[in-house]
Structure 1
Amino acid sequence: MRLKDWDTNLRIRLVAEASFNTMFWMFFPFLAIYFSEEFGKSKAGLLLVFSQVFSVAANLIGGYCADRFGRKKMMVLSAAGQGLAFLVFGLAQSPLLNSPMLGFICFAFAGVFGSLYWPASQAMVADLVPEKDRSEVFAVFYTSINISVVFGPILGSIFFVRYPFEVLLVSGFIGLLLSFILLKWIRETLPQKMVSANTGGNSWYSAIVNQFKDYRVIMADKIFLLFIIAGIVVSQTFMQLDLLFPVYMKEFVGTQTVFSFGEWSFKVNGEQAFGLILSENGLLVALFTVVVTRWMSKYKEQNVFIVSSILFGISIILFGKTVWIWGLIFAMAIFTLGELATAGVQQGFVSKLAPEHLRGQYFAAASLRYTIGRTIAPLSIPLTEWIGYDWTFITLCALSLLSAVLYWVTFKSYDKQKAATV
């Protein structure tokens, strides 16, 4: 599906969200280091876990609200909330306040609003794009995010380290601008029959009861539940990209030469090395997401998910066994291939399982792979103090291999269900 054939809603969002994501990635990758230095590794890890509990709840509420009140309304509200949270976060970094705890609270609120945004965002894509083209459209949005991951950390290593207040302030204003663009220039895509169904006079508490009934029905879908559990397990590996990796590399990766030409050489320290491999990840994803998605579409979904989990396991072991910059670059290439393998396939699989009237809630429930995963993932930071870095990396590898087994069970069950309905 060519970009010129996309709905106007999606083209506007692609550009507007790319600008906001670039600003976000200027500071987000460095927050694990910032909070670890301000609070200590153990306290920072537990605080990050605590903050994500609210994101899990917001994710579920976001899916319900996307189906109840509309995709556009939730996206406008969430973008405005993120913008305001970043503005206050910036003020917390100013000489006037200098309050790390207020900054952490704002970071937590921004995470909540982000969790409200994405179920509506993904449901809008499913509303507007035929099933056969969804994986490719999701892959393009994923590529856009990762173009931001290329430039954001590089710019952040230059500007955020020196001017955190200004960077966060600009990010906040761009978040508010995104909210205005969504309000002004996109239309609502909630299916009309769902609008009619939502015009009843149910009280607010009846709506909440019905919401949890809907989620109970979703969780009764055993195949979908297995898919979520497998995703939560494997997320413990790939979410270390902005949690464990920056802390590990700052502590152990010394200043070294990446390459040299004559008397000129390019050297990096631990933090700069992290920015380099993060940009490598974003660049590879930006260049190859659509290509790899088309390549993976030729294979059974089961095999794609299993191979992805195994690649994550291999990469995490390599990360834990080297501090050489080129070894880290190689490990990141394997890590990125594991990430790319399922980039477009996973949302397509969710859309196959989801009934139309619960589409937003299915996407929200599917996002539990990330929200619950991100809730648990920060434990890796204090875990390094409890059992050491070596055993932490081995544990993460074992979780990746466990997820491969869970995906195998998931797709075997799915195949049996399809065969039974034919």
Structure 2
Amino acid sequence: MKEFMALNNNLKLRMLTVFLAVMLSSSVGPNMTIYYAKYFGASITGVLLIIVSALGFVAGLYGGHLADVHGRKPIMVAGSLLTLLGFAIAAAMNSPLGRYPVPTFFGFLIAQVGGAITSPAEEAMVIDVSTPKNRRYVYALIYWIINISVMIGAALGGWFFRDYLFELLVGMIAVTIINLIIIQFFMTESFTPDHSLSGSVWQAVRGYLGVLSDHRYDWYLVGMVLSGIVTGQLGYYLAVHLGADFHTVRLFGLEIYGQRMLSGITLINTAIIIPFMSLFTRLTQAWSLRRAYTIGMALQTLGFALACLFNTLWPMVACAVILTIGEMIVVPPSQTLRADLMDPEKIGTYSGAFSAVNPMANILCGATVTLSAWLGGIGMAILFGLLGGLSILVVVHVIGMKPTHAPEQAE
């Protein structure tokens, strides 16, 4: 508690806004795929999701640049206003008066773009007001809060989405307004923007070309994409593997089949992280970034690779425990390293560049599903082992490279 109270006020408020925003978005966002499939069909839904991801990706890049041009707060406020507008449209189109799927999609599209614009500015503000000394603690705490929020949000969505979508959307509007008030009236600007820069698209492109010239950060992004291919498999190959190969069992009267086992891995993950994240943060606080990333990523890779080989309950539970322990070890140092690698004058742009990692990793995750038809379970386990090992080699190489920017590096 003493360490928390010593944090910058912006960080404390950020914890609150993260909790509220993630809780409500987790209750509605994942279920919208079901909503779209019901009204548009599976093939159209796939196209709509690609459109949302593509626009969100572009908005994230541009939002990162704008955060360096105009400061963090104005972009966070502007993105929140867009999000509010999007949720208001979606709520109005799903009121007791009727449901209108097409304007609902555009409402959520606006909200997603608003969130994508805001995200790099929020990340930049966290880096601005944290220090190399407390950054690992800050990221661990935010990660812990996100897991609690996701768990509560998933429960809310599971119980209320089908019959009370309008009420959930009204709740999202209320939460967005609360977060907007917190940002506008209680957070302070953490960055003095460079007024020689402009918000033009060409200036943004030049900014990202500058990031690409930072080879240390480029290699870090490569390492994170490699890592993301392994750790993103719950929604890709492992879902296929468990759906096709898992041996259904009964546990305490409940039938556990492939889809439930997949959800069970997520539940085990969350159930371990919530009580034990702070303990693992303390235990690994003195570890170097190199040691923490190597051990954490190795355990995550081992957990995912073994999961490709097993198809029964208790070995899969063991895999879930192993990969979760690795996750608790690797996430805070990985995020700390990312902050250390950024140019302090261009943190927004660097954060925007990082927003490309998940879309790239997800595309490659999809490719692994196709490969699995030829490689089989053993081949996929070997592939994940190789990708995880490459990620470790790349990130360790990054840590050992000569610092590009100033001197807040931790070995």
Which stretch has the larger CA shift, 172-181 or 410-419? 410-419
Maintained 8 Å contact 2:66/2:75: yes
SS of 1:15's equivalent in the other structure is helix
Superposed displacement of residue 228, structure 1? 0.4
- CA deviations 1:113-139 (Å, max 9, x no partner) are 222222211221222222211111121
Aligned position for 1:215: 208
- CA deviations 1:277-331 (Å, max 9, x no partner) are 4333223222233333344444443343344444444433454555655454333
Superposed displacement of residue 62, structure 1? 1.5
Give the distance between the partners of 1:386 and 1:92, measured in 2 at CA: 41
Aligned position for 2:322: 334
Give the distance between the partners of 2:382 and 2:109, measured in 1 at CA: 28
Q: TM-score, normalised by structure 2?
A: 0.82
- The reply on whether 1:363 has 2:348 as its aligned counterpart is no
Any unmatched runs of 5+ in structure 2?
Answer: none
Maintained 8 Å contact 1:143/1:285: yes
SS of 2:127's equivalent in the other structure is helix
Question: Would the alpha carbon gap of residues 15 and 406 (structure 1) be closer, same or farther in structure 2, given more than 3 Å must change?
Answer: closer
- The reply on whether 1:224 has 2:211 as its aligned counterpart is no
Aligned position for 2:276: 288
Which stretch has the larger CA shift, 390-399 or 275-284? 390-399
Aligned position for 2:19: 18
Which stretch has the larger CA shift, 62-71 or 157-166? 157-166
What is the number of residues matched between the two proteins?
405
Aligned position for 1:262: none
Question: Would the alpha carbon gap of residues 17 and 204 (structure 1) be closer, same or farther in structure 2, given more than 3 Å must change?
Answer: closer
Superposed displacement of residue 398, structure 1? 2.0
Maintained 8 Å contact 2:63/2:116: yes
Any unmatched runs of 5+ in structure 1?
Answer: 260-264
Which stretch has the larger CA shift, 388-397 or 5-14? 388-397
Give the distance between the partners of 2:347 and 2:297, measured in 1 at CA: 26
- CA deviations 1:347-375 (Å, max 9, x no partner) are 2212222222112222222332224334x
SS of 1:356's equivalent in the other structure is coil
Query: Residues 195-344 of structure 1: matches in 2 within 5 Å?
Result: 195=193, 197-198=194-195, 200=196, 205=200, 208-241=201-234, 257-259=250-252, 265-266=253-254, 274-320=262-308, 324-344=312-332
Maintained 8 Å contact 2:222/2:394: no
Bigger relative contact order (CA 8 A; separation at least 6): 1
- The reply on whether 1:349 has 2:337 as its aligned counterpart is yes
- The reply on whether 1:128 has 2:133 as its aligned counterpart is no
Question: Would the alpha carbon gap of residues 336 and 117 (structure 1) be closer, same or farther in structure 2, given more than 3 Å must change?
Answer: farther
Which stretch has the larger CA shift, 34-43 or 325-334? 34-43
Give the distance between the partners of 1:256 and 1:165, measured in 2 at CA: 38
Question: Would the alpha carbon gap of residues 105 and 155 (structure 1) be closer, same or farther in structure 2, given more than 3 Å must change?
Answer: same
Maintained 8 Å contact 1:24/1:171: yes
Aligned position for 1:178: 179
Give the distance between the partners of 1:279 and 1:308, measured in 2 at CA: 20
SS of 2:232's equivalent in the other structure is helix
**What amino acid is the match of 1:111?**
Q
Question: Would the alpha carbon gap of residues 183 and 240 (structure 1) be closer, same or farther in structure 2, given more than 3 Å must change?
Answer: farther
Maintained 8 Å contact 1:151/1:279: no
Aligned position for 1:401: 386
Task: Please state which structure has a larger fraction of its residues in helix.
Answer: 1
- The reply on whether 1:58 has 2:59 as its aligned counterpart is yes
SS of 2:331's equivalent in the other structure is coil
Query: Residues 131-210 of structure 1: matches in 2 within 5 Å?
Result: 131-190=132-191, 194-195=192-193, 197-198=194-195, 200=196, 205=200, 208-210=201-203
Maintained 8 Å contact 2:238/2:308: no
**What amino acid is the match of 2:62?**
I
User: Which residue of 357, 363, 366 maps to 1:379?
Assistant: 366
CA RMSD across the alignment:
3.7
SS of 1:343's equivalent in the other structure is helix
SS of 2:190's equivalent in the other structure is coil
Superposed displacement of residue 185, structure 1? 1.6
